């Protein structure tokens, strides 16, 4: 068996640009997650976050942080299921 190295796709490729944009939005986004104590706000790359008493408080703070970036807001329920995206 011979090994063939594939050429990298051109960065001008529209699908590649959309993929890279989606990854950027995900990494600069914020997660609002429900648990028994309240609602956590955290970055996707962090394991811990800030605890808020209500969902609305967490979303308001997330939107303030996201105003500086082009990230998205992902809202998860107690079971880790995505229930909203803004």
Q: Does residue 77 sit within a domain?
A: yes
More confident residue, 20 or 67: 67
Q: Does residue 14 sit within a domain?
A: no
Instruction: Write the DSSP assignment of the chain as a string of letters.
Output: ----PPPPPPTT-HHHHHHHHHHHHHHT-EEEEEETTEEEEE-TT-S--EEESSHHHHHHHHHHHHTTS---EEEE-TTS-EEEE-
Report the pLDDT value the prediction gives residue 76, as an integer from 0 to 100: 92
In total, how many domains does the chain have? Answer: 1
Cα separation of the two ends of the chain: 48
Q: Does residue 1 sit within a domain?
A: no
Domain that includes residue 77, residue range: 30-85
Each residue's pLDDT tens digit, 1-53: 688 887 776 667 788 888 877 777 767 789 999 988 899 999 888 888 999 99
Q: Does residue 67 sit within a domain?
A: yes
Q: Does residue 9 sit within a domain?
A: no
Q: Does residue 40 sit within a domain?
A: yes
Report how far residue 2's alpha carbon sits from residue 73's, in angstroms, rounded to the nearest whole number. 45
Q: Does residue 43 sit within a domain?
A: yes
pTM, full prediction: 0.70
Q: Does residue 5 sit within a domain?
A: no
Report how far residue 10's alpha carbon sits from residue 67's, in angstroms, rounded to the nearest whole number. 31
């Amino acid at each position: 068996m011979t090994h063939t190295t594939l050429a990298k796709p051109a960065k001008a490729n529209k699908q590649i640009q959309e993929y890279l944009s989606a990854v950027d939005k995900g990494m600069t986004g914020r997660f609002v997650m429900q648990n028994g104590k309240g609602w956590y706000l955290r970055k996707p790359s962090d394991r811990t976050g800030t605890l808020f008493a209500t969902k609305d408080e967490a979303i308001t703070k997330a939107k303030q942080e996201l105003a500086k970036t082009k990230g998205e807001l992902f809202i998860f329920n107690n079971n880790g299921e995505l229930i909203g995206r803004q």
